[in-house]
Amino acid sequence: MHTKTMEGLVGARTNMNLMNTPMRVYREARRKGDMAAMERAMGYAGDFSDKSKEYKAEADEGMKEDAEEAREKAKLQREETLRKRKEEREKLEERIAENGNADTSTDIREAGGCVLEISRKGKMLVNNHLDADTTDEETGEIQVACEGD
């Protein structure tokens, strides 16, 4: 919180509390019919009221400055986040480009895919029971779904 805001809020609240005393004196003087005491009490109450208005203006100014600082801070954080995301995206694109030249089996593992190795005998047994759509006849690879797919 900005110093002006704190000072303004505390000053306004204090002057509003201090205004209670002259108002109490004013009410008592009115009850007694003492015009001079009433005028003095209203003068003091007016002074405290004016001071509280000044402090309120100071608090408003401080809150505007606080809001401006918060907007600037949020803007800088957004820019920093965007910069970091751009760097991460560039690194990811570089890794993808590097992995594009690598062996496909390592690409599957790095991408979080599953690799299932089946013996020849197992392949023969599976091929007899699976549709032709699920196997690749040239390589003998069987396409399966991994957990989480």
For every residue of 90-103, DSSP letters joined together read HHHHHHHHHHHTS-
pTM score of the predicted model: 0.50
- Please give the helix or strand (H or E) that residue 74 lies within, else none: helix 35-100
Higher pLDDT, 104 or 117: 117
What pLDDT is recorded for position 51?
A: 93
Chain mean pLDDT for the chain: 82
Which pair of structure tokens corresponds to residue 54?
Answer: 């000044």
Burial class (CB in 10 A: 0-12, 13-18, 19+), 146: exposed
Spatial distance between the Cα atoms of 74 and 68, rounded to a whole number of angstroms: 10
Residue 138 backbone dihedrals phi, psi, to 5 degrees: -70, -45
DSSP state of 133: G
Class of residue 90 by CB neighbours under 10 A (exposed 0-12, middle 13-18, buried 19+): exposed
pLDDT digits (tens, 9 = 90+) for 14-65: 999 999 999 999 999 999 999 999 999 999 999 999 999 999 999 999 999 9
